[in-house]
């Protein structure tokens, strides 16, 4: 059992304590992040872009997600580990979702799953919660629907869409979701939704009023320096550090300076 549970997250919202979440895809980073007290490690299907170099999240597979979530669980003792369910593993029917989400939890050891979608997904969320599968919702910009949404654009700027997002959030809460990711939503709207709910909201590009924040780890660390977005703050510039380390290593190997005596074994 992790130190951070779904109940603990609800209590954090009640107390006004901010929730810290980051994406994570392997055991090494999981150990590093878990040691800092990060509350949620989200094994996002963003790994399909960040690690696999795909143009979107759409081709991520259930096997991929289980594999990476298993690694993250091996490196985690404190944080709540959430597995992002990939495209078309839960949208067909509640029973399909039950089978695939159950498999993800059983095989990876994750503590919860994340599904994209609002009111239309509420019956599926309810079915999962009924059998004991904790569900994190995700509304606003939902990357698995990027083509239907017309690209990666802020959602909820017009009144009709804003009202729909409010209804989506309420429906997910009523269905039993323990938290909801709000992605690329105007800050004022995200604030309204957060105040209206008793469950926590986790923002990404949704302003400061959400109950918590999540970023893609490689963006936050400045490892993915080919990507930039208004909502991303880079807390390090590791891409250049990696390149410089590799340049120095290559030079020392070519010049015969590495390995030196201190890196070599005697008899």
Q: Which residues are catalytic?
A: 183
Report yes or no: 61 and 90 within 8 Å, Cβ to Cβ: no
Pairing outcome for strands 19-23 and 112-114: unpaired
| DSSP state, residue 85 | P
Report yes or no: 165 and 209 within 8 Å, Cβ to Cβ: no
DSSP E strand boundaries for 115-266: 135-140, 179-183, 201-204, 212-215
Distance CA 122, CA 100 (A): 17
DSSP E strand boundaries for the chain: 19-23, 40-43, 80-84, 112-114, 135-140, 179-183, 201-204, 212-215
Distance CA 85, CA 66 (A): 9
Distance CA 138, CA 135 (A): 10
Which conformational region is residue 73 in: left (phi greater than 0), alpha (psi within -120 to 50 degrees), or beta? Answer: alpha
* CA end-to-end span of the chain: 48
């Amino acid at each position: 059992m992790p130190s951070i549970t779904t109940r603990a997250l609800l209590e954090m919202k009640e107390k006004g304590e901010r929730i810290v979440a980051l994406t994570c895809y392997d055991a090494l980073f999981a150990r590093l992040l878990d040691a800092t007290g990060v509350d949620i490690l989200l094994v996002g299907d963003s790994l399909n872009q960040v690690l696999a170099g795909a143009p979107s999240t759409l081709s991520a597979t259930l096997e991929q997600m289980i594999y990476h979530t298993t690694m993250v669980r091996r490196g985690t003792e404190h944080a709540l580990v959430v597995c992002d369910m990939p495209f078309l593993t839960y949208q067909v029917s509640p029973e399909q979702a039950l089978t695939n989400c159950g498999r993800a939890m059983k095989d990876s050891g994750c503590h919860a799953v994340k599904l994209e979608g609002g009111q239309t997904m509420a019956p599926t969320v309810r079915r999962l919660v009924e059998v004991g599968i904790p569900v994190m919702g995700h509304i606003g910009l939902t990357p698995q629907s990027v083509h239907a949404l017309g690209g990666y654009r802020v959602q909820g700027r017009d009144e009709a869409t804003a009202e729909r997002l409010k209804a989506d959030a309420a429906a997910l809460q009523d269905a039993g979701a323990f938290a909801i990711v709000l992605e690329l939503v105007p800050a004022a709207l995200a604030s309204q939704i957060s105040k209206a709910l008793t469950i926590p909201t986790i923002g990404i590009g949704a302003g400061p009023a959400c109950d918590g924040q999540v970023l893609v780890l490689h963006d936050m660390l400045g490892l993915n320096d080919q990507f930039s977005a208004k909502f991303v703050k880079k807390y390090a510039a590791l891409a250049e550090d990696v390149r410089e380390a590799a340049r120095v290593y290559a030079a020392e190997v070519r010049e015969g300076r590495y390995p030196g005596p201190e890196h070599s074994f005697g008899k």
